[in-house]
Amino acid sequence: MAESAEFLMPQPTKEHRRIQALVGKWNVKSTFCMDPTQPPMVCDAVEVYEAAGPFFVLWRCSIPCRTASK
């Protein structure tokens, strides 16, 4: 192999561009039923998606949960 061989970096595809569209801060709400005899858990969370170059997205989520009132 020649020492002067050039490595060509691949280009992002449409799938990579789709995940880049997630970049930002999102407020989300989820309801979880962990035990049918108990009230559901309601979570108001904040999700943060950060670009890590053109190919990857980092996801961070903060989920403080509370018991839903009946």
pLDDT digits (tens, 9 = 90+) for 12-54: 999 999 999 999 999 999 888 889 999 998 888 999 999 999 9
Asked, for residue 45, whether it belongs to a domain, the answer is yes
The domain total for the chain is 1
pLDDT for position 31: 87
Range of the domain at 41: 14-67
Q: Does the residue 40 lie in any domain?
A: yes
The 3-state secondary structure of 8-70, one letter per residue = CCCCCCHHHHHHHCCCEEEEEEEEECCCCCCCCEEEEEEEEEEEECCCEEEEEEECCEEECCC
Question: Which pLDDT band holds residue 57 (cuts at 50, 70, 90)?
Answer: very high
- Give the range with max mean pLDDT: 6-10, 32-36, 51-55, 63-67: 51-55
Q: Is residue 62 part of a domain?
A: yes
* pLDDT above 60 (res 69): no
The model's pTM: 0.65
In a domain, 32, yes or no: yes
